[in-house]
């Protein structure tokens, strides 16, 4: 039986060890590498092209959310399963919108991790039931979400980097695009969200779970 390769990205060795034990109990999975920072994760995924990346949303004090499009570009066949302590539905919405295949809270990992990994391998999207209920409730109570949904993955990435304090020049370097392209994305985000100032953009990013 062919085995599905897995990379585990978490900055806590004990958590990685726990995930390794859980996934290794299933013969369908083979842990090929682990990482603890965003740059290391990008490098590891590029090298191993794993079937699944189990990704924490915070690595060494840095949000890994903006890196999801880069990880998928480096390894298009990889399915990203976010495993996090972030219970805010905005994080789940943002992660799934920019390419994650699943979202699971660490508190449920022991019971659901293997099943979630199996689901995303099959091409399905996995959202922990409790988180799905919170997301549905949040969407029902949040007017104006139709406009938010029109943000593209790249626009969400630019918004996240702006919220983290990066300048247009720095964003251009990180995304390997021109400053003019960043300015265009920023203008589109501003128009879609109805924001004018950088402070308003940062507030909007936080509403999306990107700050």
At 141, the pLDDT band (50, 70, 90 cuts) reads: very low
Q: Which domains does the chain have, with CATH numbers?
A: 4-140 (3.40.50.2300), 145-207 (1.10.10.10)
Better pLDDT: 142 or 121: 121
Query: What is the rounded distance in angstroms from the CA atom of residue 168 to the CA atom of residue 178?
Result: 9
C-alpha closest to that of 139 among 154, 127, 123: 127
User: Which one has a higher pLDDT value, 145 or 170?
Assistant: 170
Q: What number is the average pLDDT over the span 72-87?
A: 93
Give the pLDDT confidence score for residue 143 in this predicted structure.
40
pLDDT score, position 150: 65
**How many angstroms separate the CA atoms of 61 and 76, rounded?**
26
Average pLDDT, whole number, for the chain? 84
The DSSP element (H or E) to which 201 belongs, if any, is helix 198-207
Lowest mean pLDDT among 49-53, 75-79, 134-138, 205-209: 134-138
- pLDDT tens profile 13-30: 999 999 999 999 999 999
Tens of pLDDT along 91-114? 888 888 889 999 998 888 777 899
| pTM tops 0.75 | no
Lowest mean pLDDT among 98-102, 180-184, 191-195: 191-195
What was the pLDDT predicted at 116?
93
How far is residue 20 from each of residues 3, 42, 54, 80, 174, measured CA to CA in Å? Answer: 15, 19, 10, 16, 31
Mean of pLDDT values over 162-182: 84
């Amino acid at each position: 039986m062919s085995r599905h390769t897995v990379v585990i990205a978490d900055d806590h060795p004990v958590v990685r060890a726990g995930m390794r034990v859980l996934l290794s109990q299933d013969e369908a999975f083979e842990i090929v590498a682990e990482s603890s920072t965003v740059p290391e994760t990008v490098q590891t995924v590029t090298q191993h092209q794993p079937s699944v990346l189990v990704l924490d949303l915070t690595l060494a004090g840095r949000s890994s959310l903006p890196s999801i499009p880069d990880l998928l570009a480096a390894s298009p066949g990889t399915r990203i399963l976010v495993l996090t302590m972030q219970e805010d539905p905005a994080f789940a919405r943002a992660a799934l919108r920019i390419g994650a295949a699943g979202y699971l809270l660490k508190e449920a990992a022991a019971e659901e991790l293997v099943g979630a990994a199996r689901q995303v391998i099959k091409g399905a999207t996995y959202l922990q039931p409790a988180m799905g209920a919170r997301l549905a409730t949040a969407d029902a109570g949040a007017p104006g979400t139709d406009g938010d949904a029109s943000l593209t993955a790249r626009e969400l990435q630019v918004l996240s980097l702006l919220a983290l304090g990066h300048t247009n020049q720095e964003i251009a370097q990180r995304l390997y695009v021109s400053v003019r392209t960043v300015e265009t994305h920023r203008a589109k985000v501003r128009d879609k969200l109805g924001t004018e100032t950088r402070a308003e953009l940062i507030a909007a990013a936080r509403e999306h779970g990107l700050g």
